[in-house]
């Protein structure tokens, strides 16, 4: 029995070897290339700031206010066909979400120019277009004041999430690591907001959810690299911070790229086949995966070189 078990373990190890996209013995000098990475970062931030200043954000219904209609059809609703049908009314942005039963839909229409009478006219146009096949369970008009409150709450939630993440990293490691993580995460979130501005994507509550998801993903990779740096500091007697950072990033490079690759396998189908409803969320996350992976490899760890109490490790001990 013991022989069979030994044979099974031996065979299993032959076929279940760890997969390494990046060779484990890589020796890339990431620290030496940090100025190229910082240049790319500065360029992305400049593009983001210019785009936000000139074009701003294309705020969606959640933030600009609009019309909300909850309806129940007599048969299964084809959301794509319904969206095309309502587009003929020229009411601006129209989003349709199916929830609960296949016959239930939530229709959001951007706020119309004018007073409440203009909003009522738009609601009546939708009723006339849909006909008597729908039962209207809820009709609401979201004012711009409520939209501004939601926008402020979304911004505050994103900022608090980044601060909480940096505090966690600072407590788990040292405050220098927390500050570096905050800068890297802020960079990822800011450039993703810039993507919404440059491509003029709808910025709504779904976009806020994408930013919060991105912040969590970005810090996940960063923590792995930081943990390896701390472990290397403790185990090795090398006193050169550059050597420690390069060794740590190279050791975690395969894990970082595999995590990004597997995540992209799930996101790319949403980008190309998710349709207009999911494009805002999936495109932002896809961009965020690239930016977050890049910042974890090049930025976050390289920032440790400029932290006060860690600069003493820059010079190798004699």
Indicate the range of 64-73, 127-136, 177-186, 303-312 predicted with least confidence. Answer: 303-312
- Those residues with Cβ within 8 angstroms of residue 42's Cβ, 6 or more apart along the chain or in another chain: none
How is domain 22-59+147-313 classified at the architecture level of CATH?
Up-down Bundle (1.20)
Stretch (H or E) spanning 104 = strand 104-110
How far apart (Å, rounded) are the C-alpha atoms in residues 231 and 8? 34
Residues 275-288 as b or e (16 or more Cβ within 10 Å = b):
eebebbbbbbbbbb
Residue 2 has pLDDT above 50, yes or no: no
Roughly what angle, to the nearest 10 degrees, separates helices 205-235 and 144-172?
10
Residue 141 has pLDDT above 80, yes or no: no
Give the model's confidence band at 239: pLDDT under 50 very low, under 70 low, under 90 confident, else very high. Answer: low
pLDDT at 111: 75
Instruction: Please indicate whether residue 287 or residue 82 has the higher confidence score (pLDDT).
Output: 287
Q: What pLDDT is attached to residue 179? A: 84
Report the first-to-last Cα separation within the chain, whole angstroms. Answer: 56
Predicted confidence (pLDDT) at residue 118 exceeds the cutoff of 50 = yes
Check if 22-59+147-313 and 66-142 are the same fold. no
- Report how far residue 158's alpha carbon sits from residue 119's, in angstroms, rounded to the nearest whole number: 32
Domain boundaries, the chain: 22-59+147-313, 66-142
Q: What is the pLDDT of residues 278-293, one digit of tens each?
A: 777 888 888 888 888 8
- pLDDT reported for residue 65: 72
pLDDT confidence tier of residue 146, bands split at 50, 70 and 90: low
Residue range 268-278, pLDDT digits in tens: 887 787 666 67
Task: Name the band, by pLDDT with cuts 50, 70 and 90, for residue 46.
Answer: very high
Sign of the torsion formed by the C-alpha atoms of 161, 167, 168 and 174: positive
Quick one: which of 212, 184, 210, 222 has its CA closest to 271? Answer: 210
Pairwise CA distance, residues 108 & 194, whole Å: 25
Token pair belonging to 210: 């994408």
For residues 97 and 39, the model is more confident at 39
Can you read off the two tokens belonging to residue 272?
A: 């190309």
Query: Does the pTM of the predicted model rise above 0.75?
Result: no
Give pLDDT, residue 5. Answer: 45
Under CATH, which number does the domain 66-142 receive? Answer: 3.30.70.3400
Average pLDDT over residues 193-199: 88
């Amino acid at each position: 029995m013991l022989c069979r078990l030994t044979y099974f373990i031996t065979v299993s190890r032959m076929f279940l070897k760890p997969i390494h996209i990046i060779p484990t013995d890589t020796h890339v000098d990431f620290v030496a290339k940090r100025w190229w990475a910082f240049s790319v970062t500065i360029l992305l931030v400049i593009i983001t700031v210019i785009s936000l200043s000139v074009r701003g954000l294309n705020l969606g219904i959640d933030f600009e206010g609009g019309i909300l209609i909850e309806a129940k059809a007599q048969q299964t609703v084809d959301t794509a066909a319904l969206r095309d049908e309502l587009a003929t009314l020229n009411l601006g942005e129209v989003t349709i979400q199916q929830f609960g039963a296949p016959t239930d839909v939530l229709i959001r229409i951007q706020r119309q120019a004018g007073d409440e009478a203009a909003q009522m006219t738009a609601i009546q146009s939708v009723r006339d277009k849909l006909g008597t096949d729908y039962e209207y369970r809820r009709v609401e008009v979201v004012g711009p004041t409520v939209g501004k409150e939601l926008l402020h709450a979304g911004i505050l939630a994103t900022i608090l999430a980044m601060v909480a993440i940096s505090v966690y990293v600072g407590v788990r490691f040292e405050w220098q690591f927390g500050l570096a993580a905050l800068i890297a995460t802020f960079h990822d979130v800011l450039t993703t907001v810039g993507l919404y501005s440059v491509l003029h994507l709808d910025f709504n509550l779904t976009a806020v959810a994408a930013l919060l998801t991105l912040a969590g993903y970005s810090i996940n990779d960063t923590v792995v690299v930081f943990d390896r740096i701390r472990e290397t500091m403790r185990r090795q007697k090398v006193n050169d911070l550059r050597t420690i950072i390069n060794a740590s990033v190279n050791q975690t490079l395969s894990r970082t790229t595999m995590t990004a690759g597997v995540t992209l396998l799930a996101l790319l189908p949403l980008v190309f086949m998710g349709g207009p409803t999911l494009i805002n969320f999936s495109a932002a996350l896809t961009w965020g995966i690239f930016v977050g992976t890049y910042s974890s490899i090049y930025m976050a760890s390289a920032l440790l070189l400029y932290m006060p109490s860690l600069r003493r490790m820059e010079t190798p001990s004699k």
